Amino acid sequence: MSLKKTLTIAGSDTSGGAGIQADLKTFQEHGTYGMNALTVIVTMDPNNGWSHGIHPIPVETLHAQLQTAFSTGVDALKTGMLPTVDIIEMAGKAIKDSGLKDVVIDPVMACKGEDEVLFPENVDAMIQHLLPNAKVVTPNLVEAGQLSGMGTLRTVEDLQAAAEKIHAHGAQFVVIKGGKQLQHEKAADLLYDGKKHYLLTAEKTETTYNHGAGCTFAAAITANLANGQSVKDAVLNAKIFVSSAIEHGWKLNEYVGPVMHGAANKFPKPEVVVTEL
C-alpha cells in the first residue's frame, strides 16, 4: 500500500498546537504521509508571560530540506510561517521549479492572539513570490487585509472585495477565514474561485482554545487535495475538520489552548453550510 505524500514548509511551534506539529498531525489524520521543511523555530518564554521567540532557520538549510523533500516526491504541499524575505523567496522559487499544482499557501503573518503583523516587509514578498504559485491561499482577516491592501475587513462584502484583489495577485482560489472577528453570527469563511463567491458557515464555538486552527485548516485542505478532492470539497471537508478541532479545543496550560487536531475522526461531525453569494 502506498500513501499520498504531503509536505509542509513551515515553522515549529514548540508547544505543539500550531505550525508543523499541527500540520503533521492533520496529515496523519487524513491518511497521508507527512513530510516537513522547517523555516523557523518558535519558542515561548516562561519568564515573560510565554511571549514568543522567533528563531529563523538559515536559508541554505531550508534549501537542503526542500531538495530532500522534492526529490522524495510530493503530491500536495502547504506553506506556513515563513519568517524572512529570503526564506519566502527561496520557498517560492523551489515551489515554482517543482511544477507541483496542489499548493496551499497559508500566509501566516502573526501568532494567534496578536494582531500586529510580525514582519511587515514580508507582505510584498508573499505577493510576489508565493501567491502566483498558489492553487489555494488561506488568509485570516488580518492577513487578507494586508494582502489586498484594504486594511481592516469587517463584513462579508469586505471579504468579497478583498478576495478579488488577492485573486488578481495570481492565487487560483482564495479562502478568507472570517473566524471569530467577522461581523457574522456564524464562523464564516469566504471561498472565491475567480468567478463565484461561496460562504461556508459553521456554529461559532465560544472558546479561547483555538491555537493552531488556521494551520490545521490549511493542512486539511492540503491533505484533501492530495487525496484527489476538488478544491471546493477539500475546503468544505477541511472546514468540518477544523470546526470539530475547535469545538474540542483544550487547556494546555494557563497561556494557551490548542485545538484537538483529530477530533473529527472521534466525535460526531459538525455541520457546515455552503451558500453561493
Ligand X SMILES: Nc1ncnc2c1ncn2[C@@H]1O[C@H](COP(=O)(O)OP(=O)(O)O)[C@@H](O)[C@H]1O
Ligand Y SMILES: Cc1ncc(COP(=O)(O)O)c(C=O)c1O
Tell me: does residue 214 bind ligand X (CB under 6 A).
yes
Give the range of 8-16, 148-156, 169-177, 229-237 binding ligand Y by CB under 6 A.
Answer: 8-16
Find where cell 455552503 sits: 274
Q: Is 179 in the site for ligand Y (CB under 6 A)?
A: no
Return the number of the residue (145 or 212) whose C-beta is nearest ligand Y. Answer: 212
**What residues contact residue 153 under an 8 Å CB cut-off, 6+ apart?**
141, 144, 145, 159, 162, 176, 182
| Closest to 165 (Cα-Cα) out of 177, 174, 154, 152 | 174
Rg of the chain over all Cα atoms, to the nearest angstrom: 17
- If one asks whether residue 217 binds ligand X (CB under 6 A), the answer comes out as yes
Task: Choose one: 93-101, 124-132, 212-220, 250-258; the region binding ligand X (CB under 6 A).
Answer: 212-220
Q: Is 77 in the site for ligand Y (CB under 6 A)?
A: no
Sheet containing strand 76-79, edge to edge, reads 51-56, 33-45, 5-13, 76-79, 103-105, 136-137, 173-177, 187-192, 197-202, 273-276
Please pick, from the candidates 13, 75, 158, 189, the single residue that binds ligand Y as defined by CB under 6 A.
13
Residues 47-76 binding ligand X (CB under 6 A) are none
Residue nearest to ligand X (CB): 214
Site string for ligand X, 239-258 (x = CB under 6 A): x--xx--x------------
107 is a contact residue toward ligand Y (CB under 6 A) = no
Task: Indicate which of ligand Y, ligand X, none lies near residue 177 (CB less than 5 to 8 Å, by partner kind).
Answer: ligand X
Q: From CA 42, how far away is CA 152, in angstroms rounded?
A: 27
CA distance 40 to 256: 20
- Alpha helices of the chain — where are they, by DSSP H? 19-29, 59-72, 85-98, 122-125, 141-148, 156-168, 213-226, 231-247
Comparison of 90 and 213: residue with beta carbon closer to ligand X? 213
Kindly report the backbone phi and psi dihedral angles of residue 140, in degrees, each rounded to the nearest multiple of 5, phi listed first. -85, -175
Distance of CA 113 to the CA centre of its chain: 16
From 6-14, 92-100, 201-209, 228-236, span contacting ligand Y (CB under 6 A): 6-14
Which does residue 187 touch among ligand X, ligand Y, none (CB within 5 to 8 A, set by kind)?
ligand X
Residue 92 interacting partner from ligand Y, ligand X, none (CB closer than 5 to 8 Å by kind): none
137 lines the binding site for ligand Y (CB under 6 A): no
Alpha-carbon distance of 8 to 40, in angstroms, equals 12
Q: Applying CB under 6 A, which residues contact ligand Y?
A: 10-13, 18-19, 42, 80-81, 108, 111-112, 211-215
Q: Applying CB under 6 A, which residues contact ligand X?
A: 112, 140, 177-180, 187, 189, 202, 204-205, 207, 210, 213-214, 217, 239, 242-243, 246
